[in-house]
Structure 1
């Protein structure tokens, strides 16, 4: 499947076949694809929490997830989180493969960008999680699986459940599996003329 086909065919599936299991190696393929996603200064601050325990999944569904069946029925359930302080943690790791003579300059640009800007740490974390989520879902489509990004849950309770470190943020769950039935038709996309602007929002200056 080419990338455009995957983009147009990917749908948010809410009812998965609980009997379907991922083939050996497919989970790793999906995760390896997800970590190809870009991040600011290559700090790779996503952290993926795979929820396998059936009792934990049941608790998520019944207590924290508004009884959404994806929590229990998806073949793979991944909570996307991000380390907002990853920029401080051995940042030279992020440039291990670049020439040694340029590495210090690249590493040196990270701290001035993030330092004393907690809002930017959080914004960049969520930007990166959004990109990784879409990469993961498109990779799933390539492997002929369906997916759903889920934000409808009690974030504080889920953070407590997974023992989220204090310097991390919670992003979406990504549920992956096989749909029990074909997805409904898309409800409708706004026309590009409502969404695309040239140079400025002010028409008299465009």
Structure 2
């Protein structure tokens, strides 16, 4: 597997584009979103702004919280802020919402699977985490348990998104239960090798969102 910078950039950009597309599939399924996307959808409903714009604006605001936490962004961090929302809006523009329940279930399952693949590609490029991951690791670096930090952030974001009108449903639970195992399985298999390590030992950073 190539570890050159151009190859890693291609992997990063492909992962980010696929991540935005996977979120669009889950939005069109209308069966429930991930915690952060519930917030994004709720904000979009209240402001009237395109969902992709909201995704990028929230990422930028979260990124500002990195500074007091002394987190350093990478190329992947900046690309995340710029590209995920654009890919999301592009897919929403060409994909009409299905009415049949089997089609909606199919979109949800495909969206979750592609989200896991996108996570492996994006984080596997080793060019910097997303803004939301950096918030979690920054708080954990202050001595807080990672599990509690991640759970607290997810629950807080989900609650605010639900109050704003974001879609919470069976897909929300399915995503929460499946994205972790998917990411754990796919990240090591899609990651470029770290210096001095074999290709099978991938990163274990949580998924971007």
Q: Shared fold by TM > 0.5?
A: no
Structure with higher strand content: 1
TM-score by length of 1: 0.33
- The structure number with the bigger radius of gyration is 1
Structure ranking higher in helix proportion: 2
